[in-house]
Structure 1
Amino acid sequence: MKIAIDVMGGDRAPNEILKGALLASKEIESEIVLIGPERIVGETGLQFVPSSEVVKMDDSPLEVLRKKNSSMHIGLRLVSEGKVDAFVSAGATGPLFLGATSIVKKLEGVERPALGVAVPSLKGVTILIDAGANAKVRPEHLLDFAFMGIAYAKVLGVEDPKVGLLNIGSEETKGHEDLKKAFSLLKENLGDVFYGNVEGHDINSGTVDVVVSDGFSGNVALKTMEGTAKLITTTLKKVIKEGGILSLLGALLMKRSLNKLKERLDPRSYGGTFILGVRGIVVKAHGSSDAKAIMHAIKVAEKGIKMRIVEEIGRGINSVRNSGDGR
């Protein structure tokens, strides 16, 4: 197994990307292939492919197609040619998404790929799709997202995934016209698999296994969860410190549990999101990823390889479409 890393993508490139890649190389089975300028990647001792251009964070999506010698373009091309099994980048979402759909290509039957992320919930994880790739979508696209989300959930071991549509209320009449049309489409095509409308708090509650959304709302929800997690951990530290000696002693006794809580809530622990619906494994890491987040994004990519996520989702989409009831 080989995983290519875009060393030049992200707000903290190249230093944090390299650190994350080196951390991951000690913990995973896959071989890591770094993509970046030789003067940077050639000193790491890891396999590398040199690049001479960079797709910047504020570049337009089309730049990934124009800059053929960029680390992002080369990584996507390596996936499309089967020379690596996965590609991880913390670069700009727009170029990466366009590159994945144009270079790696879409799976048959998928009109609009999407970002799918498994976020922590009270019942394990909830698949949030789309998490930021498609700001505006048609109702038919939300149905496609549901198909991909169901397939992804089954890959993760959920036998009978339930699907919810992210909305401002649980009632069928809530939301704008496109959401109402999407509700009807999901109900008609998924049957009992479709739970109905869900709200933001349902994502972490685990009310359903898959939450379907347009990329704008999904990304806002994801970033809000990340901010809330940081608020909880930061406030907890502050309260313990202000609580005096007894509070500190209590925290010391609960250190193991508190560390587990911190790890559970840390957005870096789920590292990256799959671009679902393309013919290869492409993982989008957060633009501000540090070394730990990059390490986890690489682990996400390796998990995708082992689960044969592309093949399973392609098979799952066809199965769900053909069955007519989401099963």
Structure 2
Amino acid sequence: MKIAVDAMGGDHAPRVLVEGVQRARDEYSDLEFILFGDEKAIKKYLQDSDRIEIVHTTTQILGTDEPMKAIRQKKDSSMVLAAQAVKDGQADAMISLGNSGALLAAGIFVVGRLKHIARPALMPTMPILNQEHGFVFLDAGANAEVKVSYLQQWAVMGSFYVKDVMNIEHPRVGLLNNGSEYDKGDKLHQEAYQALSELEGINFVGNVEADQILTGPADVVVTDGFTGNAVLKSLEGTASTVIKELKISLLNNGLRAKIGALLAKPALTSIKSLFDVSSYGGAVLLGTKVPIVKSHGSSDARTVYYALAQLRMMYNKKMLEKVMNYFDQEPVNKN
């Protein structure tokens, strides 16, 4: 398997990309890489080039760039060249830590959509309290408006991902809604509930409320990208704020509080690790012709390594082929 790497995307590029690639290369003998970016900068961190090819470019898409404009005007950027490589069959998958909107545009307009899939979705993995595995959540920002058929397609793709990558045999699918009853929500959500319950081979467990998703009511949670992105950022922001404020309170309220903080350190570390999703890799742009993973711009080398392992698992399990076979046999309506 060969993976195209946008080596210039992210806050700490190319160092974390190169370090993550080298770790994955050393651990998995079946992986090869094409790194797109500034050759001099990449070689600064590259210990050896075994199974690693560099395609030189100094052009990169910045976080401040307008996505579609950047894709059209920066065709020699590290991100677009990586996307073009997978489109041309030079690589089997792609990873980037760069501009999310630009990567979404590159995935759709350069790489192309998977057969049967109307709209690719951005799918991160989120933690579940007191469990080693998490749940997948889509769409987390790619599609502000949805149709019922989009939610059906995402439920199917999410189910195959959880089964193949997370090794959960019968993934539970939930629809994010404002109540657990079947008739909750607007017309679209009521129709989606019925459509999801009729999907062949999909274990639909009904509606899921936002205040319960971290307790693990479902392994796959589907929603529109506007709501999904708002929920995702709310969860991340709340967790970060609570941990930060708890630390400040324990360290700034006298000796007793500091002693208590020392005694509580193992528990606090456990809470912090719960929301450290680095081991899950990155958010999958699910629905493109090849596996594409977007990791956070501030990701470290460890996150990059896990994202590469994530891509390898998707590829080796032939996940996308299974999705296409499903829809060949079970076409989804266009409502």
Is TM > 0.5 for Structure 1 vs Structure 2?
yes
Partner of 2:16: 19
Determine if the alignment matches structure 1 residue 247 to structure 2 residue 263: no
Picking from 151, 156, 168, the partner of 1:147 is 156
Instruction: Tell me the SS of whatever aligns to 1:128.
Output: strand
Instruction: Tell me the SS of whatever aligns to 1:61.
Output: helix
Summarize the alignment of residues 21-36 of structure 1 with structure 2, pairs less than 5 Å apart: 21-27=18-24, 28-29=27-28, 30-36=31-37
Partner of 2:59: 53
Partner of 1:199: 209
Instruction: Tell me the SS of whatever aligns to 1:279.
Output: coil
Change in CA separation of 1:20 and 1:295 when aligned onto 2, cut-off 3 Å: farther
- Greater mean deviation of Cα atoms: 296-305 or 50-59: 296-305
Deviation of 1:78 (Å): 1.6
Query: What letter is aligned with 2:35?
Result: L
Partner of 1:4: 4
Deviation of 1:148 (Å): 1.1
Cα distance between partner residues in 1 of 2:326 and 2:286: 12
Instruction: Tell me the SS of whatever aligns to 2:122.
Output: strand
Deviation of 1:81 (Å): 2.7
Gap regions ≥5 residues in structure 1: none
Cα distance between partner residues in 2 of 1:294 and 1:17: 11
Instruction: Tell me the SS of whatever aligns to 2:310.
Output: helix
Change in CA separation of 1:300 and 1:263 when aligned onto 2, cut-off 3 Å: farther
Gap regions ≥5 residues in structure 2: none
Q: Confirm or deny: 8 A CA contact 2:140 2:232 kept in the other structure.
A: yes
When the two chains are superposed, the root-mean-square deviation of aligned CA atoms in Å is 2.8
Partner of 1:311: 321
Partner of 1:234: 244
Give identity over the alignment, percent: 34
Change in CA separation of 1:246 and 1:308 when aligned onto 2, cut-off 3 Å: same
Q: Confirm or deny: 8 A CA contact 1:118 1:270 kept in the other structure.
A: yes
Cα distance between partner residues in 1 of 2:288 and 2:20: 28
Query: What letter is aligned with 2:178?
Result: I
TM superposition score normalised by structure 2: 0.83
- Greater mean deviation of Cα atoms: 99-108 or 144-153: 99-108
Deviation of 1:56 (Å): 2.8
Partner of 1:134: 143
Q: Confirm or deny: 8 A CA contact 2:123 2:138 kept in the other structure.
A: yes
Deviation of 1:211 (Å): 0.6
Q: Confirm or deny: 8 A CA contact 2:285 2:293 kept in the other structure.
A: yes
Summarize the alignment of residues 93-132 of structure 1 with structure 2, pairs less than 5 Å apart: 93-122=100-129, 123=131, 124-132=133-141
Cα distance between partner residues in 1 of 2:67 and 2:262: 53
Cα distance between partner residues in 2 of 1:323 and 1:281: 22
Partner of 1:187: 197
Query: What letter is aligned with 1:33?
Result: I
Change in CA separation of 1:83 and 1:191 when aligned onto 2, cut-off 3 Å: closer
Partner of 1:223: 233
Cα distance between partner residues in 2 of 1:20 and 1:260: 27
Instruction: Tell me the SS of whatever aligns to 2:67.
Output: coil
Q: Confirm or deny: 8 A CA contact 1:17 1:290 kept in the other structure.
A: no
Determine if the alignment matches structure 1 residue 297 to structure 2 residue 298: no
Cα distance between partner residues in 2 of 1:116 and 1:75: 20
Summarize the alignment of residues 264-303 of structure 1 with structure 2, pairs less than 5 Å apart: 264-303=274-313
Cα distance between partner residues in 1 of 2:102 and 2:147: 21
Instruction: Tell me the SS of whatever aligns to 2:40.
Output: helix
Picking from 63, 70, 75, the partner of 1:68 is 75
Q: Confirm or deny: 8 A CA contact 1:229 1:267 kept in the other structure.
A: no
Instruction: Tell me the SS of whatever aligns to 1:121.
Output: coil
Change in CA separation of 1:80 and 1:274 when aligned onto 2, cut-off 3 Å: same
Partner of 2:180: 170
Superposed CA deviations along residues 22-44 of structure 1, whole A, max 9, x for unmatched, are 14523542344321123322433
Cα distance between partner residues in 1 of 2:100 and 2:212: 26
Change in CA separation of 1:262 and 1:17 when aligned onto 2, cut-off 3 Å: farther
TM superposition score normalised by structure 1: 0.84
The number of residue pairs the alignment matches comes to 317
